[in-house]
Structure 1
Amino acid sequence: MGSTTSGRHRRRHYTNRRCPCATSIGISATHSRMSKLRVSSNDGNLELVGLSQSSASPGVVWSSNLSSSTVSPTPGSNVAVLRDNGNLVLVDGGNSSNVLWQSFDHPTDTLVPDAWIGENKITGEYQTLRSWRNSEDPAPGMFTDTVDPNGSSEFFYLWNGSRAYWRSGVWTGRAFANIPQAVLNVIFNQTYVETPAYRRVTHVLYDNATVTRMVLDLTGQTKQYLWLAGSQRWEITWSAPTVPCDAYALCGAFGICNQRSQPPCQCPPGFAPAAERDWGLNDWSGGCHRRVPLRAQSRAECELACLENCCCQAYAFSGSVGCAVWHDGFHNLEQLYAGDDGDDPSPSSLYLRLSESELQHLRGRGAKGKKNRLWLVLGIVLACLSVFAALGASALVARMLLSIRRRRLEEKMAKQNGSSLQVYSYGELRAATKNFSERLGGGGFGTVYRGVVNGHTQVAVKKLECLRQGDKQFRTEVYTLGLIQHVNLVRLLGFCSSGSGDEKMLVYEYMPNGSLYSYLFGGSSSSSPCPSWHDRYGIMLGIARGLAYLHEGCRECIIHCDIKPENILLDKDLCPKIADFGMAKLLGRDFSRVLTTIRGTIGYLAPEWISGLPISAKADAYSFGMVVFELISGRRNTEGGHDVDYCTEAEDAAQRPSTFFPVWASARVAEGDTAAVADPRLHGNVSEGELERACRVACWCIQDQVAHRPTMAQVLQALEGVVDVYAPQVPQTLQYLTSLA
């Protein structure tokens, strides 16, 4: 039994999900006026009574089926109670603490707080989440969320009960390894517990007034929903996988998954949904089929179709039947002779696939033939070796000449494109970085090393990872990036592309003051210098100018997608320069997968990244707002007040928030108390006007709705004081979270 909420917020209960009487009747029975849920006066079972296929009169279509060990002494007094947490329990009327059956032990596609999924070690039974078959049929679907059957703390998402397509990672003590953002959750506490009796994960609310649910939906994604009472709607706060196309076989055979369309599944040209009605109900597992079946037109085409498939065991072709191909074994084969074909006007032969040795045996080649053939082969090999030696020497010389010519062509192409990029070989950059020995940093897109080129020029060399682009496309994109120059963007000096993914590198100008992260958070002792307000505000302006240029100053809008302190570098004058711009185009479709798994990135991502909605330049504005909060406060948004040394009195430190900082800061800004948000290490040495503008801009940037966020050009005008910034509203989601904090 399970429960859900329809679009009109009407509560439904679904029973007998594992084996419904019939798809249509099993569902309609739950809505029939003649159906009801009752406690049997005979055996004390909880029963659903309604119409069935076999009888026109009402009967029991589902029962809790209490075992003999759980039956109460007085079954006629059993009582069904729907508790405040949504758990439907059957209790002993004579002892209300004796729970005989509960719905939390039978989850469907939905997990609510206090319920659990995992393994009962005593019975060996697994409690799992299982998606619906389609949008109208709650019978088990294709996707399952279950704990690792091998005994680890990891949870798997399975397709058809067998193929894993997403993993939570093992439990680290605070969160699952692949869901690090869970530690920021202020709605509920997620906990994994293992005892001799069970291993399971559960969620406990921090505030019982919160309404939330986790659903494994038809796309194979688990989505966490939060009910916003003010706007009377459900808000998706988290999903895994982040995009539906990461679910295995979501669109079935020949189906195409498009994460930018709704619904996500489409059929390629020449194909149509195999089951139109199922597709209309968001069940795409049947896939697509050809509108016109393919048929080989000749025996040669049929033979080729078999030879090109390693699993093909045999084929046959006839004019009346066409091409037949076998991939498995045969049964009931019979030897035919002349005249046994009966009325078949075009009899065919069956062609079996054999190994080469068997073919040689059938062709009657004996040992003598093999010996002669051996000498023939040796003669050919010796002749070939001589030729190859000559060709090898020629190829070596040709390769050197081609390398020189290629370098000249690249430099010529760079000049024609107006780019001043230097083309490096892998060996040159390996020597420049002393065999990549001095690591400056790294992330999901690659590792950065310090190097020296031309004898004295310091550079930063980034070795790219997760790059599947072809050489030509990579060079085209790099030349385009080389044309982008701005005082607040890290300058691209050159690149290396040797044709393989492991040897694609970018060469940037070197920033002596490192990243904004190390500048703000690198020192934890009270003797560490505290960045002045003047420097912080200048950094805000520089970042805003760089992003505004990327969005509106280039020929095509460039969305950075990964704005965070680690990607803001500082030159010797503390001028901020944005690094890693253009990585989204270089990495292509792998970018979002890599981005959402990088440690330290999740807290800066706009909600549309998590919910799978289209990404626009406003996603950078959201990330910029989060960075501004950290510049103002001098602390990580994700750290509690006890984790950072503010060099202040104990009572001041005690006033700092211990929850997600933007939640607390947004409420203070809405109240007009911007001074409380500033870094206490500044001791009030701030410009009140600049502080107020920065706080309000940050709050506007992190609005839930994309349309409510400003463009980076508007942000720049606000920070420069060209336009006034009025007090923002607290984002709806943050406003709700603030009430819980």
Structure 2
Amino acid sequence: MRPFVLVLLITVCGLSLLIACPPAVAAARESLARGASIAVEDYATDFLRSPGGTFACGFYRVSSTVFTFSVWFTRAKERSVVWTADRTRPVHSKGSRLTLDKRGGALILTDYDGEPVWNSTVAGAPTASRARLRDTGNLVVEDADGRALWQSFHFPTDTLLPTQSLTATTRLVSSRDGRLLSSGYYSLGFSDYAMLSLFYDNGNFSSIYWPNPYNNYVANNRRIYNFTREAAMDALGNFLSSDNANFQAADFAAAGVRRRLTLDADGNLRAYSLDAAKGTWAVSWMAFRNPCTIHGVCGANAVCLYAPAPSCACAPGHEQTDPGDWTRGCRPTFRQHQCGKPTRTRTKLMALPHSDFWGYDLNDGEILPLAACARRCRANCACVAFQHKANMECYLKSVLFNGRTFPGLPGTVCIKVPVDFVVPEFHVHQWQSHVHGGLAILEENITVCGDRAAQKVVLNATALSRKHVGDAAGKPVWPYLYGFLSALLVVEALVIGLGCLLFSRKGLFTRSSPVYPMDEGYRLILLTTSFQRYSYAAIKKATGNFADEIGRGGSGVVYRGVLEDGRVVAVKALTTSVSRSHGEEEFQAELSVIGRIYHMNLVRIIGCCSQGKHRILVSEFIENGSLATMLFSDEDGDGDGGDDHDVLAWSQRFRIAVGVARGLAYLHSECLEWIIHCDMKPENILLDRDLEPKITDFGLAKLLDRRPEGSASRAGREANPSGRIRGTRGYMAPEWVSSLAISDKVDVYSFGVVLLELVKGVRVADGDQNTDVRAVAKAVGEKMHSGSVDDLVDGRLAGDFNRAQVKVVVGVALSCLEEERNRRPSMSAVVQALVSVEDA
């Protein structure tokens, strides 16, 4: 009997405890009361749900450490986010919270450290009673009577839901490359003429590309100067705008269909319908059937070919700026003449037939013969090319942007290049295609372009997407004889066949390398990125059996290599001095980072090799080597570089400082996995041909979460330095040397040292000589207080520097070198300080 009584007592006590202490994690809520909050740790169970259950609102998991506060569809297989509080400012997985403020009545989103990162700024907030997610997907802050004081429908991101209006003050803005945490170059809103339009704006180039920019508003069947400025899509799939823009979804009036209108990352506006049974989305309308008509799809100095998937090609005399990102376009392989400076460089014209570059005209399209149009362009220094159409219209171009090409497109674009520019000799028929180095090469015989000699053009068309692949490998190519329609069918067959050939070549390429157990661990990563997997034999061939060593460090040796497609790359073989288990772990850490990180000031990793004991990374080759070589080579004679270089001008040094700061800020707070570099020094800053800085070796640092010291958990943004995280003496922060836990402020300290070295032009952190960096900083601070900075700056500049910028750079460096890490600024604050004097 006693055991039974004991069990009964335990049961009763347990129930009483449950009643007295409700569970910490609540179920999905209908509303959020004033003063209540939602914690990110409870994201899976604690969120707002719409009454019908179609939408949910809460913390949305982007990665293991990164969350946004968003609204999403619950009945789709993949959560379709329709609204985000601030997608450029995510929060961490621990300590973040969404609260309906008890005093002000506003929704407030705070990060791990309690810092507010977003709020709803409710008008009439004192009467706010609750936050509720309505069946329309609209998140609303209401008063006691249910009246909306603030609503998410007034602040859209990239999606418009039925009954949600687009107004004169709101816009849809695309994401960047489909990533949730960044804004793209495309937007939908009303123009100054009150016409609903799609805009492209990358900071350097901007244009309207929908409705058709070739037509006026009458031809586009639009109205202008209508001050209503409102557009919306209803639940039946009918879209109507005050300027007469309207369309209907393909499944218009279908009952019970959930819909959304989204401006996708590729710049195309699409309406989607949800298949309730399958939980999948289908496109029911799109603004563009041919993606090549979308502006900026291939960047500057490039053209887009659609047949039937979009592919990009550099214009003659240009090469791709970033092999992993076509939106950055192409750059000239020849030195361009600068207007206002004397030159004896003679030019010739390269022809790009059946092509068009929209916009950026220097004239209004005069009727001129081809020869006269060519003379007009040659005489105008600002003219980089001209377009001559079949009706003899002549357009002089100041910029080559929004390029497209396809058989039958009337007109030829003629590009100015130096007369000694080498033209590859190919003798093939028009629009003949074959495969070379994994690229589709379209070659066309050109007759004349205002010059006497015939020129030939080669377009290396790299596919933007490989989703459109058929099974027509080996089919013959029909000649282009019977006009535009026939030509399109031919090119479509070519691309389908080419896709099969590419995939078959890839299969042959990867079959030669055996699959090791750890390979399976990163195969999924490779499938979701643009990485190329290389066999060890291919790496040996590319590097000439590892003959050209260009650098080495504690993590491995770097060699110069040339891939089959002609790209020059840097090949990093992880060192064998590290134990095999450490090497594999390090390699896996690199791979987990690579798929998520891209920034113009970070070296881009383009491939990898994991075969047997070999762990190799393939990255872009940076032409000018390290900052250490450029800055110190003729000063310290310590082997950083054997050749003297031109002294870096102050403007170049300042640009390097800003670029490195932006790269570190991205690593610390903007990419999907917050990363501490742990070895920031001039040797790990590479300079490309334009002296744009790119941080390298960031992938070798241990990934750290983003939680500060003093919190309940220290597993976040700090780490014990006794592990394998490496640093360089002189650049290491005091807390690291003292074996304290480290945070992202160690990178801030190291960056401060680099800033001083950029200013002084000599080593400040010399580990061999035990240089006291703090003593140097103190001396620099005293000179700053005296009011003169001339004695601080590299004497090789001979006084040619911007004093306002020097003062800010030195001031930032000193703040970065604070011994107490909590007094050091964040890298985001450093970027703001430097950019504030960028135009000084």
**TM-score band (shorter)?**
0.3 to 0.5
TM-score, normalised to structure 1, is: 0.38
Q: Which has the higher helix share?
A: 1
The structure showing larger relative contact order (alpha-carbon pairs under 8 Å, at least 6 residues apart) is 1
Q: Which has the higher strand share?
A: 2
- Bigger radius of gyration, 1 or 2? 1
TM-score, normalised to structure 2, is: 0.33
